Structure 1
């Protein structure tokens, strides 16, 4: 009797609830889409990073690249934050997510692009890097935090602002030395050198043309019938 009663008290192994199984299947099915969303984040930020650095070189071209980067980033945001979550956010939340994601994309683009091209354009990147730090911080907490202003204007926000200010001062101090040394490949130097080479080549072609290459017109008719000492009659 004691054995049977002890066996009766052994709990049966718990089985996963049907709702848990559905959640796991849904999470597995959404994993490839989440991958596409993260690819969109990085590709969009990469396009923006190149556009904000090189914008003065060709404003029209790099404005289009920046617009494409923002579009890709926003599509990734819609996929990850609006479509894939089990609960659809309210319209106010959607607009907030889209607006802050645009800010975040530019902040990340300024930060990554400025760090990548600081040796090439030190004066411009010395401004982009600290601005990217502040903009990405503010945009992220506006997007993710329920009470963002307490963090933005709190001790954490003050620490980020101090870091950005020190970064700006340090980069501005280093920028003249980087500009004098030439750093990496300087885009402006390449354009200037190419333009100078083309101008000097054109001057060389226009000013030092070989006079022997020009066709000469004969001053006299050198046909045998009119050569000096030749008579039209026949001499026997």
Structure 2
């Protein structure tokens, strides 16, 4: 039972570590906490996997070293996250309420066509294969 629990805890720790690193650009403050927490959780899971191993191994010189690395990572990544949040640009934006979403598929009117009415034709209806405009804030 200890092996199953420690394996589950190890997978959570590795998931926290890799997810924090992978999505650090998207959520820097969250990633700054997830990476060191994942290191500590993974180390604890590794130590408790052996039922015969005493809990004192967590606070052994190796355990203290892992805790020191995790603390340094926490403070360093928090500073990096704070500098990223104040930097302009970057990130993955989906648009905001104040900023109307740009429609990349709609034709833009030039100054010469804005004042001249377009000729009307009734012979051919619009094609059904024309994709509808996307107003979801994405601009790809």
> TM-score range, shorter-chain basis?
0.5 to 0.7
Gap change, CA 1:131 and 1:168, over 3 Å in 2 = same
Moved runs in structure 1, 4+ residues, more than 4 A? none
Gap change, CA 1:109 and 1:178, over 3 Å in 2 = same
Mapping of 1:93-112 within 5 angstroms? 95-112=1-18
Gap change, CA 1:120 and 1:194, over 3 Å in 2 = same
What is the CA–CA distance in structure 1 between the aligned matches of 2:54 and 2:100, rounded to whole Å?
55
Question: How much has 1:185 moved relative to structure 2?
Answer: 3.5
SS at the partner of 1:119? Answer: coil
Whether the 8 Å contact between 2:39 and 2:70 is mirrored in structure 1 is: yes
Question: How much has 1:149 moved relative to structure 2?
Answer: 1.4
Question: How much has 1:148 moved relative to structure 2?
Answer: 4.2
RMSD: 2.4
Structure 1 residue aligned with 2:117: none
Gap change, CA 1:113 and 1:140, over 3 Å in 2 = same
Structure 2 residue aligned with 1:127: 33
Structure 2: segments with no counterpart, 5+ residues: 104-140
2:47 is equivalent to residue 141 of structure 1: yes
TM-score for the superposition, normalised by structure 1: 0.39
Mapping of 1:59-208 within 5 angstroms? 95-144=1-50, 146-181=52-87, 185-186=91-92, 189-190=93-94, 193=95, 196-197=99-100
Whether the 8 Å contact between 2:57 and 2:63 is mirrored in structure 1 is: yes
Whether the 8 Å contact between 1:110 and 1:128 is mirrored in structure 2 is: yes
Point out which structure has higher relative CO (alpha carbons under 8 A, 6+ apart). 2
TM-score for the superposition, normalised by structure 2: 0.63
Which of structures 1 and 2 has the bigger CA Rg?
A: 1
Question: How much has 1:194 moved relative to structure 2?
Answer: 5.9
Structure 1: segments with no counterpart, 5+ residues: 1-94, 202-236
